[in-house]
Amino acid sequence: MNIGDEVVYNGDYGEILTGILTAVGSDKDSYDDIKLKDGVFLYKSKKLKKYVPFKEKSLSSVYIEITKGNASGLANFDYILPNELVKTSK
């Protein structure tokens, strides 16, 4: 799973939804540079000066931005936690 992939996820009421994964972020200020590479969330370590995987306990601060279009061509966004993903559609 990478940015740009089509993903399947659970909606607010348990419905199955699809959309394009467009961004990842964190609600913690210390994680200001985040990547997603092959399903692994990485952040830029200021100490090591390279991207390192998130620790399991810090994954709860990560969110995913999903873009989904509607019939009129306007984009809608959903923000979900990684554990709400069902699978990638590829």
The pLDDT of residue 73 is 63
The pLDDT of residue 29 is 82
* Pair type for strands 50-53 and 62-69: unpaired
The pLDDT of residue 14 is 85
Q: Give the residues across from 18 on adjacent strands.
A: 8
Per-residue pLDDT of the chain (90 residues; tens, 9 = 90+): 899 999 999 888 889 999 999 999 999 888 889 999 999 999 999 899 999 999 988 888 999 999 987 656 667 899 999 988 887 655
Domain ranges of the chain: 6-85
Could you tell me the pTM of the whole model? 0.81
